[in-house]
Structure 1
Amino acid sequence: MPVGWFTAVAIYIVCWWVVLFAVLPLGMEQKDLERPTDGSQWGAPADPKLKQKFLTTTWVSGIVWAGIMVILATGLIPLPEIG
């Protein structure tokens, strides 16, 4: 493998965060335009479904990470030699 385990984990973490920000707005619905009485903000979602979004983010980022690792392993995008 052209990258070490630390670099592979770092790539997965970056993929996870990028995918999270892509997944967060999915499925959001506009709340009523009534004044909130429970201390929440106007734009806060009624049911954000964060657990489902974190699980979706984890498996999607795993697929993206695997694709990146395959691209690096096959040499389609060569890495420069350092050192």
Structure 2
Amino acid sequence: MNWVSGIVVFTITWWVVLFAVLPWRVTTKDAKGRGEMAGAPDNPHLLYKALWTTIISTVIFVAIYALIASDLISFQDMADRMGRY
């Protein structure tokens, strides 16, 4: 995997994990003011979620990189087999 592919894989992984982490620690206010949605979070904890998203994405990316670098699953062989059909 070259560095461009690594950045792309990490970015996609980060965004997928972010959407999984967004519901964590969501609390809503009891009394809403005018123009506020009932489900709007009181404090979204975005820095907390960004930190956990980065940690989880890094672990997943290292696993993906190790899988690709070890040739346990050869993606080139899969591509070659798909090209025959």
TM-score tier after normalising by the smaller chain length: 0.7 to 0.9
RMSD between aligned alpha carbons?
Answer: 1.6
TM-score normalised by length of structure 1: 0.83
TM-score normalised by length of structure 2: 0.81
2:38 to 36, 42, 63: 42
How many aligned positions are there? 78
C-alpha deviation, 1:26, in angstroms: 1.1
Distance 2:59 2:28 in 1: 31
1:79 to 75, 79, 84: 75
C-alpha deviation, 1:66, in angstroms: 0.4
Contiguous gaps of at least 5 residues in structure 2: 80-85
2:76 is paired with a residue whose SS is coil
Which one scores higher on RCO, CA 8 angstroms, separation ≥ 6? Answer: 1
C-alpha deviation, 1:37, in angstroms: 1.1
Which residue of the partner structure matches residue 47 of structure 2? 51
C-alpha deviation, 1:41, in angstroms: 1.3
1:23 aligns with 2:33: no
Identity of aligned residues (%): 36
Which residue of the partner structure matches residue 66 of structure 1? 62
Q: Deviations over 1:41-77 (max 9, x none)?
A: 1110101100110011011101100000000011122
User: As a proportion of its length, which structure holds more helix?
Assistant: 2
Contiguous gaps of at least 5 residues in structure 1: none
Distance 1:38 1:68 in 2: 47
